[in-house]
Amino acid sequence: MSDLPKSVEIREEGPREGFQIEPGPIPTERKAALVNALAATGLQQIQVCSFVSPKLVPGWADADAMMAMVTPPPGVSFTALWFNAQGLNRALAFRDRLKIYGSISFAASEAFQKKNLNRDRAGQIEAQRALAKAHQDAGVAVTRIGIQAAFGCNYMGDVPPELVVRAVQDAYDVAEEAGATITELMLADTMGWATPLRIERTLGAVRARWPDVAIGLHLHDTRGLGIANAMAGLRMGVAKFDTTVGGLGGCPFAGQPGAPGNICTEELALLCGEMGIETGIDLDALIEAGHLAEDIVGHKLPSELLRSGSLDAFRRKAA
């Protein structure tokens, strides 16, 4: 177990993922209330909204209005999501309260990229070059690579590690051309195909080629294996994870209606905490934020831990 990290950064994406997929409408103040509750749990980074087309994502038509209502407390970073220069410009209006960085994004499955973005490999390289330039023109450093469908794809089937390595190489090529220094590489199990063995094989292949970059995991719990995959990542020393409180969000991809989204923040925090891995998170406060999230969206979320409560509460009673 010597590869388990001493501490892990769990990045909350519940507000952004959740409010984009819930049927709504949800009042802007309630969205801000969840962001503020999460910001008081010890989480270090929270993705609070999307600056995307209100036509495509009506749930975040009020992203600008919500941003005006929230301010990160000391030690907490707020981030947002965007896919083009317009979105970046909306984010830049809040640069006093947003951590803004550029990201280079590829799918390991070209079939997924075509379905999702209508771009082949060459088209995505062009698009990412343009986006990196837009960031740099705005004075924003490009520091992150994100790889979607890194463990399997509903349209392609299994995704061999070689295709992940190729996608990462494409991204590094774009970064190098732009003179960008990458500090972080996120591998996403976008459609829930990962298993612990696939995590090990794919991370192994990527690490063999880029031994120095910090690899993070963005895992979906589409088929109930998410936390086992996270554990496989922890065993390989992965120390950055994207998660959503309560399992907010869902799966927007074909053939999986009603399937769950990201792994639950509080369940990963429990797993880490119970194994002595530091997260900085107050688990009971996070569980309360999860109950608030359920209240806001008006239905139960997938998290099991929200039903049963932390173990420390039982330890206190037993003592």
Using the rule CB under 8 A, is 23 a contact of a second copy?
no
Using the rule CB under 8 A, is 302 a contact of a second copy?
yes
> Looking at 45-53, 119-127, 128-136, 217-225, which segment touches a second copy (CB under 8 A)?
217-225
Catalytic residue among 49, 251, 264, 272: 251
- Residue located via tokens 């990045």: 11
Residue 154: CB minimum distance to a second copy, A? 5
- On the 0-12 / 13-18 / 19+ scale of CB atoms within 10 A, 179 is exposed
Per CB under 8 A, the list member of 68, 93, 130, 197 interacting with a second copy is 197
* Choice between 47 and 222, CB closer to a second copy: 222
Task: From 174, 191, 107, 164, select the one nearest 135 (Cα to Cα).
Answer: 174
Angle at 41 between CA 40 and CA 43, to 5 degrees: 105
Residue 34: CB minimum distance to a second copy, A? 20
Using the rule CB under 8 A, is 112 a contact of a second copy?
no
* Choice between 74 and 257, CB closer to a second copy: 257
Q: How many residues belong to the site for a second copy (CB under 8 A)?
A: 53
Sorted by sequence, the CB contacts under 8 Å of residue 299 that are 6+ apart come out as none
Using the rule CB under 8 A, is 121 a contact of a second copy?
no
Per CB under 8 A, the list member of 119, 228, 285, 291 interacting with a second copy is 228
Tokens (6 digits) for 269: 């925090």
Per CB under 8 A, the list member of 111, 117, 205, 285 interacting with a second copy is 111
Helical residues (DSSP H) of 6-120, grouped into ranges: 14-21, 28-39, 63-67, 85-92, 110-117
For the question of residue 264 being annotated catalytic, the response is: no
* CA-based torsion, 278, 36, 23, 112: positive or negative: negative
